[in-house]
Structure 1
Amino acid sequence: MTESNTSSSASAAAPNKGVKQGLPFVGLPAAEDAAVKLWGVARLGTVSPEAFARQFGEKIKASGSGWDRRLAMLRGFKLVRAEGRQLGLSELGQKIVNSSDPVAQLEARREAIMSLKAYRELVESFNRTALPDPPILATKLQFEYGKTEKFAARAAQSFIESLKHAEMIDPGNIVCKEGVVNAASIVSLVPASEAVEESDQNGDQEDAAEIDRAFEGEASIAEPSEVGPALVERNVKSGKVPNLSLSLTLDLSNFRADEVVRILGVLGFDGRD
C-alpha cells in the first residue's frame, strides 16, 4: 500500500469533528440557578471564586470539570463579570435573578439565550418554524457540532428546556425569537439588529471555545443537578421515507458523500425498502 493510499484510508476512518463550536449539554435553567447562588453571596458586588463555589456545597472547590462547566455557562450566557480574580453578576445576570420584576426577568432570559452563540444560531435557524422533534434535533446537533449521540441528546433536551424557560416556543411548537405571551408575539426589548454587536463577535468565539473545553470529554456523564432526564433515543427506521412534515436546516456541505448517506440514514430518509 502506498503512502498516499494509507493517508486516504486514515482520513476516511477519522470521525468528522463538526464545523460549529460552543454547544453545551446544560442550558439556561442551570445557568440561572448558578446566577441565583452567586447573587446570594455577592449581591451587587463581587466575591472570591472560593466563596461562590461553597454555595454549591461545603466541600465544593473552585476547580475541576464541574467548576469549569459552570463558569463557561455563566460567561456564555453573559451572566457573570470578573474584576481581577473576583466574580460578580453582570447587569444581565442581575436582571435574570430579579424575580420581583417578572417581565424584565423574562426579557433577560431571552437576551441570555441570544447571547450564547450556539443557541443564537439555532434560534435564528428555526425562527417562525416548528422546532423539530427531539431525535431529529439531536441528530442535527450531533453532526453539525461533532458530538457523540449521547451528548447531542442531552444538548437537544437542554436547548428545548431553555427555550421553554424563556417562553420562546408557542403552543404550536413554533420558535419565536422575540418571545411569546399568550401565543402572541411581543416586541423584544433587545432589537434583533442590535442583539449582537459586531464588536462582540470575538468574545463570542472565546466563549464558544471555553464551552468546548469545559465540556470536552464529558459526553458520557452528566451531573443530575445540571441536566434533565435524557429523553432522546435513536430513530428506528421503518424502511420507508417518514410521512411527516418538519422544518429543519442541516448543513451537510462539509461532510463526505458517504457521511451524508449515513446521516440521512439516521434521519430515516434513505428510502430503502
Structure 2
Amino acid sequence: MRAEFPENPASALLALLDWYAAVGVDLALDDAPHDRYADSARVASAPVVGAPAAPARREPPPAIAPETQAARPRVAAIAAPDEAVRAAEAAAASANNLQDLAAALAEFPHAPFRDMAQHFLFGAGAPGARLMVLDAAPGATEESTGEAFSGLQAKLLDNMLAAIGHNRESAYLAYVSPWRPPGDRNLTPPEAATFAPFARRHLELARPEVLLLFGDAPARVMLATTEPLAKLRGKPFDIASGAHMARAFVFSGLDSMLKSPALKPAAWRDLRAAAGSLRA
C-alpha cells in the first residue's frame, strides 16, 4: 500500500499551520521536559540589539491611539499566573488616561494570545460617555475587518442601545481582551485575571455612570465573583474602581442572545433599569 502525498506539500503545510493558529496551538512539544519559565527569563535578560519596531498590524484605534509604542521583545515573556497579574496591576496603574492605558496594554508582554491575533482593538464609540459597555473580546468579523464592534453581535448591541435612546455617539464600547481569542473561545480564568487590572482601570479612567456587562468574563472580572451569570442578572451592582463608582448591570453574552432569543426579554428588563439609572 502506497502512501499518498498532496500535490502541493508546501500549501498543505501552510494550511496546517493556519489551522494550528486558529485553534490556539502556540508551542511545539517533544519528549524532553523544558522549564519554560527559565527559558523566558534567559530571553528577557539577554540584550536586544536592533529590536524591531512594533508591528503595524497592532494599531490602536485612532480615537485613543498611543502616541508612541516601545519596541516589543522578540519573544513574549512567560510568567506564572500570579506574576502576570501583579505585572498587569502595575502596568494598568501607571496609565493616567485612556491613551496611556491603550499603550500599556498593547505592549504588555504577558497578555494571552497577543501575538496570535491580527488586530489590537481597544474600544469604540465615545470615551467619557455616561454609558459604557464591556464585552469579552473581539470576534471573527472584528478580526477580519480590524474594526472594533463590527460583527453581528455589535448590530444587536446597537439595536439594544437604540431602544433606550443611545448610540455610539453617546456610549463607550470596550473589551476585556482587545485581542480575539483563538477560535473565538471563552477566556479562561487565568486569562481573565490577567486582563482584569486593565479592565478595572479602564472603568476608572472612562468614568461612566452606568456600565453594561455582557457575558461571563466581563461580569466576573468587574464584580470579582464566580457566581453563575443567571444569579447576577436582574439586579444592579455598585462597582468601585479607584475613586470612581459606577452602577453595573449584567446581561447574557451578545452571541448567546443571538442564538437564544428567549434571553432577550430579561435583557430588555435590565436595559430599562439601566436607562432609569441614567435618568436619575
Q: TM-score range by the shorter chain?
A: under 0.3
Name the one with the larger strand percent: 2
Identify which of structures 1 and 2 has the higher relative contact order when contacts are C-alpha pairs closer than 8 Å and 6+ apart: 1
Query: What is the TM-score with the length of structure 1 in the denominator?
Result: 0.27
Query: What is the TM-score with the length of structure 2 in the denominator?
Result: 0.27
